[in-house]
Every structure is written in C-alpha cells, then in structure tokens.
Homo-oligomer: A and B are copies of this chain.
Amino acid sequence: MLSFLNSVATGIAMPDLEHPDLSLETGFPDFSALVSHALTLLGRYNDDIRQGSFAPFQPMDAEALQSAAELGLPAGWDDLKLWDLCTQGVNANHPGYMADIPGGGLLLSALGDLLTSGVNRWPGLYPGAPGLLEIEKNLLLWMCSMFGMPEGAGGVFTSGGSLANFSAVHVARVNLLSEQTASRAVIYASDQCHHSVVKAARMAGFYDSHIVSLPTDALGRTDLQALRDQLATDVAADRVPFFMVASAGTTRTGAVDDLPAMRRLAVDYGCWLHVDAAWAGSFVMTERGRSAMAGIGEADSITIDPHKAFWTAWGSGALLVKQPATLKAAFDVDADYLPFADADELMLNPSVISPELSRNARGLQLWLPLKLAGEQAFVNCLNEKLDLAEWAAETLRPVPALSVPDWPLLGICCFALGSEADVAAANHLTQQLIDTVNEDGRVVISGAHLHGRLYARLAPLQFKTHKEHVATALALITQAVEQLTTEVATS
C-alpha cells in the first residue's frame, strides 16, 4: 500500500508507520540537560561580558566554521562549537560598548523567548495564542499611554524599527492616497532621518523622486522654514504632500525635531505625521525625555524599538498609531482558511494589522523584565543613562582642546577636536581620538557626522553601563586628547 521509493533509491532503511523515526522528538529529560549546557555557556558569557576587553575583530575559528557548514550527520553538543559561533564578533552588550546605539540583552528576554518558542502558540490571530496576545496588547497600550497618545490609540509589534517605519509608510499611503494621487505624492524626511525611512519608502513602491531630503539646523533638527517652503512649492506644483517623518532622537546625535510645529504643518497640508522614536522613545518615561519629546502623542504614528532602550533581546520593534483601523485598512486581506475571532479587538489579531501572518510572539521579551523588575526599575535606569551622558559632557567641557556642543543629550555626548576653520584636519584629529580611545580595549566609542563635521560620540545607553565604565572612557578620552594635542603642537 505504501510506497517506499526513498528506501529503494537511497539504500537507507526507511521507517514504516508502525515504527516511525522518533529522533526529532527529544524527550523532556534530554532537553533539560541541553538547557543546562546552554546555561553554562550563558553563565560564562555573562561573566566574560563584565570582565573582558574588546579584542580586535578576529576571523572565525576554523573548527567553528566547519561546524556551521556541516549539516548532514548527527553531532554531539560538544561538536557544535557553540561558544565560538554564539559569542564571536563585536559585543554591543558589553558595559563598555558606548558606540552607536548599543544592544540590550536583558537575560529575562531570553527566558521569554525560551517560553514563547517552547509552547510555540501561533500569535497571528487571537484563538492561536490568546494569553501571549493579551500581553502584547497591554504592552502596546502601555507604550501609547507613555507617549500621551489619545484614547483609542493602538499598535502592533514588529521585528524592529525598519519594519515599523515601512508599515507606517504603507498605512499612510493606503489611508491618504488613491491610485491616481500616489504618483504625485511627496515624502518629507530630514538629512538626519534614519536610512530605513528611505528604504521604507522604496519598499512601499515610491521612488527617490517622491522623497525630499530636508536640511537640518545646527542641532540636527529638521529646518522648519525649509519644510514650510518645500510644502508650499509642492502644492503649487500640483504635488501631494503625504508623509512627514519627524525624528525623536536622531541616530547620530539624539536630536529631537520640533514635534508640535511639524504636527501643525502636517495638519495644514493633510500629511501623515510619523515620528521615528526607535531608540530614544523609551526616555519618554523620564521627565527629561517627556520634556524633549513634548507633543509626540499627537503624531499619527510612532516607531519605538523595545530592543533598544528597553533592552530586550533583538527582534522587538513596535508601530503605534492614533487609529488602529488605519492598520486594518492597510493590511487585512480576506482568506476563507483564516478565522478572525473578534474584529473589534484589532490588537489581539496582529496578522490583520501588520505585514506578517506567521510570526513569533514578541511580548514576553519585554513583559517578563517589566513584570519582574517593575516599571520604576526602567525609569531609574533610563535616568541613570541621561545622567551619565550629562556627566560626560560636563566633565569634557572644561578640556580646552575639546569642543563639546550643547546638544540634546538624550543619552549621547558628542565632542570634537580641532578647529572649524580647517574641517578636514579637525575631522582627521577627531578620528584619531576615537581610534586611540578604542585601542585600549575597555570601552568603544563611535563617530557621528553632522553637516560635514565629525564628532566623537559616547553613548552610555547599555543598561549595564554605570559610572565606572564612563569614568574609564572619560579618562581615556582626556589622556588621548593630551597625547594628540601634544603631537600636533610638536609636529
């Protein structure tokens, strides 16, 4: 009755229905043992992460590469070379990592992923994972409330900010444009916007001819007069102002656009106002953050990444919107093979309001740390990061050779060497400063370009980063400044 073509063809004994191959069904005792192995690895990693230094980037170990490539035959745990495969490369989780926007990596997030994937409930529609979706919904409402969005606001988790920004463009297009007006649509984004905004526009079917890159002021904020002029020009030319992106925390310097002014322009021109608060949005939990981002709750949509300054594991972004029905209009497609439990509870049915049908549940990553440590622990930690950036700026400001601009300081302190009179020489010197600091290996800082000038950028945003780590960085910076200025003076 049953055909066993494979066994004939390959010569390998095939299972029959009475005696199936059960090797994929690891028993629970074995699984516990493997989890113990994994915990040993994570324990060593957790110790190293606080003690280790940043080695220069190394080529992967040959045995680890071989293990990564050989996929055919069963291997034992020790043959997997998991230590090398999991822990090589740049470590953005180290407390001394103050470059770019550091990673998070709360261990409780990893526990959330173990549980989520272990029970493997399908979180596309409510009947598949009601509890995990209630958790996602409540986290989204909590974030909407934090931003001061109006009653009725909602949102959906994505894998990160790029997909949240993309979703925002698509949602705005479906809700504001027709097939006839789309070709004349204009998207406004400053030259300090995250590159994923341009990527998002292209993915949503727009071309670079639809995207206006606006200049920014000395702080890196959208130039409002340029925006006003451009809007007037576009309307006069029969183009359709459609999507305006404000940054609440630019990637380079942490600048926050004038959100109320942009909101007024968006309303005047019938534009969708999207605020990209991917990394800095969580600072709205603090007084200083709320003050910097005043008016953010009036936006049509907001991107925030829990995997940035809520410190969950990678893979957690969110799009918040004033009107969740706009998400349904953009993403819902009928299919007779899908149930849809309760049309009124859009946030409990992510596949109806987002690009994804199948997805991993993303709530436990943030919910477990929030529930177990409490909201105030996050507020305290965020305030500490703001204090650290302010402390760094106030410590560096008296150093004569350094220029420390009075920028927003949402957790980022920028500084530069050299004179504005010779930008090329100044940038070269500042790059040398960055390199000298990073050579030491205990901390890593990065560079940020603004209007052609290179600044060194110290971002003590990792939750594990405390005063001693910033103190190390500041000592290295002042020492490097002394060395470099002496070299310049004597050369």
Q: How many Å lie between the Cα of A114 and that of B464 in the bound state?
A: 20
Closest to A95 in B: B25
**Closest-CB distance, A119 to chain B (whole angstroms):** 5
A117 contacts B110, CB within 8 Å? yes
Could you pull out 20 A-B pairs where Cβ atoms are within 8 angstroms?
A: A1-B390, A17-B391, A21-B381, A23-B374, A24-B377, A28-B43, A31-B42, A65-B134, A72-B374, A74-B372, A87-B131, A89-B127, A90-B127, A92-B120, A100-B337, A110-B118, A113-B114, A114-B114, A205-B205, A360-B360
A405 to chain B, nearest CB (A): 18
Select A103's contact among B23, B120, B368, beta carbons within 8 Å: B120
On chain B, the residues within 8 Å of A453 by CB distance are none
- Please tell me if the beta carbons of B376 and A12 are within 8 angstroms of each other in the complex: yes
Which of the segments A215-223, A237-245, A254-262, A327-335 contacts the partner chain? A327-335
A298 contacts chain B at the CB level, 8 A cutoff: no
Q: In the complex the two chains form, is A365's CB within 8 Å of B2's CB? A: no
A59 CB to nearest chain B CB (Å): 8
Q: Are A57 and B205 in contact (CB under 8 A)?
A: no
Given A203-B203, A391-B2, A380 contacting B14 (CB threshold 8 A): yes
Instruction: Tell me the bound Cα distance from A122 to B103 in angstroms.
Output: 7
Which residue of B130, B162, B376 contacts A357 across the interface (Cβ within 8 Å)?
Answer: B162
Q: Does A358 contact B (CB under 8 A)?
A: yes
B92 pairs with A3, CB closer than 8 A: no
Interface centre among A114, A122, A138, A464, by most B CB within 10 Å?
Answer: A114
Across-interface contacts of A163 in B (CB, < 8 A): 163, 355-356
Q: Give the docked Cα–Cα distance between A400 and B89 (Å).
A: 64
Is A60 in contact with B118, judged by CB distance below 8 angstroms? no
| Alpha-carbon separation in the docked complex, A132 to B308 (Å) | 20
Having A17-B467, A196-B333, one finds 4 other A-B pairs with CB under 8 Å, namely A85-B134, A89-B130, A105-B119, A110-B117
Flag if B117 contacts A314 (CB, 8 Å). Answer: yes
**Stretch of A75-83, A227-235, A266-274, A429-437 at the chain-chain interface:** A75-83
A262 to B281, CA, bound (A): 48
Q: Which of B6, B71, B108, B333 contacts A286, CB < 8 Å? A: B6
Nearest chain B CB to A11 CB, angstrom units: 12
Nearest residue, chain B, Cβ from A381: B24
Contacts of A337 in B (CB 8 A): 100, 251-252, 446, 448
Quick check: is A369 within 8 A (CB to CB) of the other chain?
Answer: yes
Q: Mark A117-141, 1 if CB is under 8 A from B, else 0.
A: 1111111001111111011011100
Shortest C-beta distance, A259 to chain B (Å), equals 20
- A305 to chain B: which residues have CB within 8 Å? 358
Name the segment of A33-41, A410-418, A476-484 touching the other chain. A33-41
- Taking a contact as CB atoms closer than 8 A, the residue among B42, B202, B388 that contacts A17 in the complex is B388
Q: Enumerate the 6 nearest inter-chain pairs by beta-carbon distance, A residue then B residue, closest first.
A: A205-B205, A315-B360, A85-B131, A105-B120, A117-B313, A160-B358
Partner among B114, B128, B365, B449 whose Cβ is within 8 Å of the Cβ of A92: B128
A6-B287 in contact (CB<8A): yes
Alpha-carbon separation in the docked complex, A305 to B357 (Å): 12
Given the interface pairs A305-B358, A355-B162, the reply to whether A6 lies near B383 with Cβ below 8 Å is: yes
Given that A119-B42, A380-B14 are known contacts, is A371 also in contact with B74, CB under 8 Å in the complex? Answer: yes
User: Does A288 lie within 8 Å of B71, measured CB to CB?
Assistant: no
A444 to chain B, nearest CB (A): 12
Answer yes or no: A159 CB below 8 A from chain B CBs: yes
A147 within 8 A of partner (CB): no
Contacts of A147-193 to chain B: CB distance below 8 A: 159-163, 166, 170, 173-174, 179, 182-183
Within 8 A of B (CB), among A348-387: 351, 355-361, 365, 367-381, 383-384, 387
Tell me the complex Cα distance, A349–B380, Å.
36
In this assembly, does A487 line the interface, its C-beta being within 8 Å of a C-beta of chain B? no
Please report the C-alpha to C-alpha distance between residue A195 and residue B124 in the assembled complex, in whole angstroms.
Answer: 14
The yes or no answer to A489 lying at the interface (CB within 8 A) is no
Q: Check B203–A206 contact: CB distance below 8 A.
A: no
Q: Bound complex: CA of A38 vs CA of B39, how far in Å? A: 13
Cβ of A422 under 8 Å from chain B: no
Q: Which chain B residues lie closer than 8 Å to A384 at the CB level?
A: 15, 17, 20-21
Bitwise, A402-445 to B at CB < 8 A (1) or not (0) is 00000000000000000000000000000000000000000000
Q: Is the CB of B119 within 8 A of A31?
A: no
A112 to chain B: closest residue by CB: B117
| B71 A138 Cβ-Cβ under 8 A | yes
A204 at the A/B interface (Cβ < 8 Å)?
yes
A198 contacts B by Cβ under 8 Å: yes
